[in-house]
């Protein structure tokens, strides 16, 4: 780990009053949740189902092949044993300290809240919330995991995870909340994302603050615009700075 850059980041965090964190799949992979868009995820989906993950996680696939959708979804997107890692814990501590004003996440696992964060904008929804499409009754993740095949409500309706599928729009309230937090931030830390998934990645353009920090194992197209770039594990970096 580049200790000089860690020291720089520590100083930026110390001098910041409104930090927003924007995170992607890399934050969750460090808790043992694989990225379904990774080479392995792609290979497994093609091998087992003969389709891409993006196709199987689309609204039209959910509508036309509901049982196969749930088979794939339960096996590949649900990790009930996953626990928050150092990145989640560091962010929760920053919020507790009054420095972090929001977490904007592309992840659907609820680990930020489990770690203790209260102000979380879940751009792609959450596997923890599930709603009957007919009567709007709410179900937990445990409820739908216990139901074989297609999860159904007592009213007979299909229970759909509160997750934004491909072909679906992001929730306007979540997006506007995220944009407001980003606009008001003096520091934005972006971690565990290659910034290629839109429209989420486009939210960075709303940041007008002082420090744009990018922490990602590989380079991104925004590196040239950042105040500080650290190519390392998001958990290790934030853990070293905050915990």
Dihedral of the CA atoms 198, 161, 109, 56 (nearest 10)? -60
Catalytic residue among 64, 88, 112, 124: 124
64 is annotated as an active-site residue: no
CA distances from 110 to 31, 72, 82, 165, 214 (A): 12, 20, 10, 17, 22
Cα–Cα distance between 77 and 116 in angstroms, integer? Answer: 22
Sheet holding 159-163, edge to edge: 138-139, 125-132, 159-163
Q: Is 91 helix (H, G, I), strand (E, B) or coil?
A: helix
Q: Which residues are catalytic?
A: 124
């Amino acid at each position: 780990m580049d200790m000089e850059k860690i020291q720089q980041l520590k100083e930026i965090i110390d001098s910041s009053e409104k930090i927003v964190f924007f995170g992607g799949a890399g934050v969750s992979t460090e808790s043992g949740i694989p990225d379904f868009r990774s080479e392995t995820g792609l290979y497994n989906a093609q091998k087992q189902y003969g389709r891409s993950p993006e196709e199987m996680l689309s609204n039209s696939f959910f509508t036309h092949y509901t049982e196969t959708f749930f088979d794939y979804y339960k096996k590949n997107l649900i990790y009930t044993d996953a626990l928050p890692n150092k990145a989640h814990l560091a962010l929760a501590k920053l919020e507790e300290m009054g420095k972090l004003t929001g977490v904007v996440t592309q992840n659907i696992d609820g680990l930020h809240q489990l770690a203790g964060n209260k102000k979380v904008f879940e751009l792609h929804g959450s596997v923890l919330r599930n709603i009957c499409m007919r009567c709007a009754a709410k179900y937990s993740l445990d409820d739908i995991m216990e139901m074989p095949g297609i999860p159904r409500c007592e009213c007979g309706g299909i229970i759909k995870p509160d997750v934004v599928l491909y072909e679906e729009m992001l929730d306007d309230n979540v997006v506007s909340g995220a944009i407001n937090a980003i606009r008001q931030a003096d520091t934005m830390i972006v971690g565990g994302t290659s910034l290629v998934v839109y429209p989420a990645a486009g939210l960075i353009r709303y940041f007008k603050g002082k420090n744009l920090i990018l922490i990602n194992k590989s380079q991104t197209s925004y590196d040239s615009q950042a105040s500080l770039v650290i190519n390392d594990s998001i958990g290790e970096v934030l853990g070293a700075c905050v915990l």
